């Protein structure tokens, strides 16, 4: 049930209380987002070495590595710029200040309410990248994506694309300069339960690269990052919001 005008996000949630975790995940899913829940900080950190998300939701008090320590390592060691929303019962001013100083984008004190929670998650994601609603057409340089007719044109020439290639191309064009993990790409294009091999994904990426002419000669590079994922780069522009894990 995706609300019109919203963009689907891939979200990681760190929360050790199953009551809270299940509820937040359900709220996100009912709003059309995809949620990956973790109950330990160390597990999330391990996952972030190979996966990307549109937003992270962190609880403070969790077993092993705390939420604020996850955030600190994320920002300082991994130089990860994924937007972070803290959702915690800790309400002391010093805690809020500490989390924000470590790089949190927003902070909510439990108990949280459904619509405010969803609005804040979407707001932090919007602040760090152009979150174009999924049903909105958009243009970028020589490309024009029409979501109503599901057509992609380059320099006013319509390109012949399969459904999956169109979705893949759209995903890259919405996220120029951003490194996206294979899991992230798979989930956004094929869905949560699809069993898509790495080879299938690579084949589609290669086809999109050829059909869209994403080559250095045309000012683009669709770069593979070894064992991690892909990033569409515009060669004459600086790269915004790029995690440096590779």
Partner 1 sequence: MSLKTGAMSIGHQATGGAEICFVERDVFDLAKRFLERQVRCVDALWAAMQERDFERIRKTGHDLKGSGGAYGLDALSYLGTELENAASAQDGDLVELLLATLEQQLSAIELRVAAIGQQEIATQVSAVAGSTT
The residues binding partner 1 (CB under 8 A) are: 17-20, 22-24, 26-27, 30, 61, 88-89, 110-115, 117
Instruction: In angstroms, give the least distance from the CB of 32 to partner 1.
Output: 13
Q: Which is nearer to partner 1, 112 or 214 (CB)?
A: 112
Q: Which is nearer to partner 1, 39 or 47 (CB)?
A: 39
Instruction: In angstroms, give the least distance from the CB of 60 to partner 1.
Output: 10
Instruction: In angstroms, give the least distance from the CB of 210 to partner 1.
Output: 43
The DSSP result for the chain, as a single string, is: -PPTT----EEEEE---HHHHHHHHHHHHHTT-EEEEESSHHHHHHHHTT---SEEEE-SS-SSS-HHHHHHHHHHTS-----EEEEES---HHHHHHHHHHT-SEEEESSP-HHHHHHHHHHHHHHHS----TT--EEETTEEEETTTTEEEETTEEP---HHHHHHHHHHHHTTT--EEHHHHHHHHH-TT----HHHHHHHHHHHHHHHT-SGGGTEEEEEETTTEEEEEETTSPPPS-----
Q: Which is nearer to partner 1, 111 or 240 (CB)?
A: 111
Instruction: In angstroms, give the least distance from the CB of 109 to partner 1.
Output: 9
Q: Which is nearer to partner 1, 115 or 127 (CB)?
A: 115
Instruction: In angstroms, give the least distance from the CB of 19 to partner 1.
Output: 4
Q: Which is nearer to partner 1, 39 or 141 (CB)?
A: 39
């Amino acid at each position: 049930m995706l609300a019109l005008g919203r963009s689907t996000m891939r979200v990681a949630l760190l929360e050790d209380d199953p009551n809270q975790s299940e509820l937040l995940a359900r709220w996100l899913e009912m709003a059309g987002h995809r949620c990956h829940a973790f109950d330990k900080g160390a597990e999330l950190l391990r996952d972030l070495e190979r996966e990307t998300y549109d937003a992270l939701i962190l609880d403070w008090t969790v077993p092993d590595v705390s939420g604020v320590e996850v955030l600190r390592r994320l920002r300082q060691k991994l130089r990860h710029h994924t937007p972070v929303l803290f959702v915690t019962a800790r309400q002391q001013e010093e805690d809020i200040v500490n989390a924000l100083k470590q790089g949190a984008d927003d902070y909510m004190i439990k108990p949280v309410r459904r619509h405010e929670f969803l609005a804040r998650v979407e707001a932090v994601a919007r602040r760090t990248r152009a979150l174009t609603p999924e049903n909105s057409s958009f243009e970028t340089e020589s490309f024009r994506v029409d979501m109503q007719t599901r057509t992609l044109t380059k320099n006013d020439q319509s390109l012949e694309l399969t459904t999956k290639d169109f979705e893949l191309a759209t995903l890259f064009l919405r996220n120029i300069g951003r490194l996206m993990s294979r899991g992230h790409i798979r989930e956004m294009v094929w869905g949560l339960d699809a069993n898509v091999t790495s080879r299938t994904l690579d084949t589609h990426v290669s086809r999109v690269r050829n059909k869209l002419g994403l080559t250095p000669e045309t000012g683009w590079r669709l770069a593979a990052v070894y064992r991690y994922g892909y990033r569409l780069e515009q060669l004459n522009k600086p790269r915004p919001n790029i995690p440096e894990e590779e």
